[in-house]
Amino acid sequence: MQKPRLVASDVDGTLLAPTEDVSPRTAAVIARVLADGVPFVLVTGRPPRWVPRVAEQAGVTGYAVCANGAVLYDIGADRIVDKHEIPAIALHEYARALMTAMPGCRLATERVGETAMDGASEQFLAEPGYTHPWPNPDSAAAPRGQVLGKSAIKMLARHPDMTSGQMAVAATAVLGDEVAVTYSSNNGLIEISAAGVTKATGLADVAQRLGVAAADVVAFGDMPNDVPMLAWAGHGVAMANAHPEAVAAADEVTGPNSEDGVALVLERWF
């Protein structure tokens, strides 16, 4: 493609090195992207409260698409611009279906306030027995009724004896197109959003706000939750360390996140 008018990147396994930092080389090319007047958008499964540290390292202050497209966050203003929630009554229905399809799974829910840290101690609630695939010191344990008691931007399910892929197949079989089911970890975790909500819909919203066509967007990702975005963008780039589904959806495969794969592509233009 020609020089992109918007750059979008997943965070974990893509923009961040295995040390969970933005490398100096990647930070330098992002600075050149921004200096050229091209927006750089973070598109992540992370909630807004986990974005500022990455944004500071990357030097970006614009929009971030969070929670797999369920939340649009203005980094510089520290403001939740838009969100797509699953109503509490639906959360209970989905939970019953998941327990039938995957006995023994444990559930959690993610919520947001008006800012990234608004009510942070209550944004992530997990029922007893839910184990995190990554360190999550800001989570709170609660009975299932409380976990499902209010509308949420995302429901998460964990199962100790299933892979994420197996869980996604089982969940989709019972929930169908009532929700969007995806995963960003291979460790027995699936993430459920409102129907039609993906990273692609979140990024399309940003592109429309900025007056950029999909054909002029380059997007980077590595996991199944990135697939819709990679397919939507004019040029989708999968990391060498990417899941096979992300590789299949991409127009190009770059180096791994451990070798500045994002920078390798962007340095063609910036």
User: Which CATH number goes with the domain that contains 223?
Assistant: 3.40.50.1000
Query: Tens digit of pLDDT for each residue in 6-56?
Result: 999 999 999 999 999 999 999 999 999 999 999 999 999 999 999 999 999
Q: Could you tell me if 225 and 199 are in contact, meaning their C-beta atoms sit under 8 angstroms apart?
A: yes
The average pLDDT across 70-86 equals: 98
Residue 138 pLDDT level (bands cut at 50, 70, 90): confident
Q: Please check whether residues 92 and 183 belong to one and the same domain.
A: yes
Please give the Cα distance from 94 to 88 (Å, whole number).
Answer: 10
Q: For residue 15, is it within any domain?
A: yes
Q: What is the pLDDT of residue 139?
A: 76
pLDDT at 140: 82
Residue-range definition of the domain harbouring residue 227:
6-83+198-266
Q: Are residues 44 and 95 both part of a single domain?
A: no
| Total domains present in the chain | 2
CA atoms within 13 A on the CB side of 217: 28
Is residue 128 a part of any domain in this protein? Answer: yes
254 and 228 within one domain:
yes
Q: Evaluate if residue 132 carries a pLDDT over 90.
A: no
- Note the pLDDT of residue 119: 87
Instruction: Please say which residue of 194, 221, 244 terminates a domain.
Output: 194
- If asked whether residues 103 and 188 sit together in one domain, one would say yes
Given 141, 170, 194, the domain boundary residue is: 194
Looking at the fold, whether 206 and 77 belong to one and the same domain comes out as: yes
Q: How many residues does the chain have?
A: 270
- The verdict on 180 and 105 lying in the same domain is yes
Residue 1 lies in a domain: no
Q: Is residue 143 in some structural domain?
A: yes
Tell me, yes or no, whether 99 and 187 share the same domain.
yes
User: Which DSSP string do the residues of the chain spell out, in sequence order?
Assistant: --S-SEEEE-IIIIIS-TTSS--HHHHHHHHHHHHTT--EEEE-SS-GGGSHHHHHHHT--SEEEEGGGTEEEETTTTEEEEE--B-HHHHHHHHHHHHHHSTT-EEEEE---SSTTTTGGGTEEE-TT---SS--TT-EE--HHHHTSS-BSEEEEE-TTS-HHHHHHHHHHHHGGGEEEE-S-SSSEEEEEETT--HHHHHHHHHHHHT--GGGEEEEE-SGGGHHHHHHSSEEEE-TT--HHHHHH-SEE---GGGTHHHHHHTTT-
Domain end marker among 169, 194, 219: 194
* 77 and 153 part of one domain: no
pLDDT of 137 reads 65
Give 260: exposed, middle or buried? Use CB within 10 Å, 0-12, 13-18, 19+.
buried
Q: Does pLDDT of 239 surpass 80? A: yes
Sign of the Cα pseudo-torsion (157, 162, 164, 169, in order): negative
261 occurs within a structural domain: yes
**Rounded-to-integer distance, Cα 191 and Cα 38, Å:** 31
Q: What is the pLDDT of residues 148-182, one digit of tens each?
A: 999 999 999 999 999 999 999 999 999 999 999 99
pTM (whole model) above 0.75: yes
239's CB contacts (< 8 A; 6+ apart) are 13, 14, 220, 221, 222, 246, 253, 254, 255, 256, 257, 261
Residue 207, domain member (yes or no): yes
User: Are 30 and 76 within one domain?
Assistant: yes
Mean predicted confidence (pLDDT) in 245-263: 98
Please give the pLDDT value at position 129.
92
Same-domain pairing of 185 and 95: yes
Domain containing residue 136: CATH number: 3.30.1240.10
Identify whether 168 is part of a domain: yes
Residues 183 and 203 in one domain: no
pLDDT for position 136: 66
37 within a domain of the structure (yes/no) = yes
Same domain, 37 and 92: no
Q: Which two tokens mark 246?
A: 């992300």
